Amino acid sequence: MRRARLLREKGLEKAVQDILKSRAKTLIYVFLLKNNGSLTEEIINGTKLHPSTVRETLSKMYDQKLIFRKKIKRESIGKNPYLYYHIPTIELLKRHTQEMEERLNKLANISFSKKERKKYRPIKIKIFERVDRI
């Protein structure tokens, strides 16, 4: 039972890494999937990544809108920490699909010369989502 769960987690990490292209981003995103609403220290302990790597990656992921954060108000002196949350996985998949469409369209249209582009309409590849009902 434990081995099956471990294999599922590895499969999830691999799928997310194929999209995010970074081990640190993957570990943080998967950690946030499992522990929604986490502090930086919790992410550091949970991912076993170096603290500066986590802080830098969280900042990049926030700028890329892969995660969002909410500031916690504390009565103590010092900075108020953030709670980090992942974006919905469907949103991550939609963004990845759009990136793939753009790449495929660039690749498909590269082979046409300027003269050929006037003769033919540009190729436009579109990936559709479909939900199968069980």
Q: Give the type of residue at 60.
A: K
pTM of the model: 0.79
| DSSP reduced 3-state for 94 | helix
The domain at 2-87 falls in which architecture? Orthogonal Bundle (1.10)
Summarize pLDDT for 55-74 with one digit per residue, the tens: 999 999 999 999 999 999 87
pLDDT band with cut points at 50, 70 and 90 for residue 128: confident
Q: Where are the domains of the chain?
A: 2-87, 88-134
Structural contact between residues 14 and 30, judged by C-beta atoms closer than 8 angstroms = no
pLDDT digits (tens, 9 = 90+) for 75-105: 877 788 999 999 999 899 989 988 888 888 7
CA dist 45 and 39 (Å) reads 10
Q: Classify residue 134 by its DSSP letter.
A: -
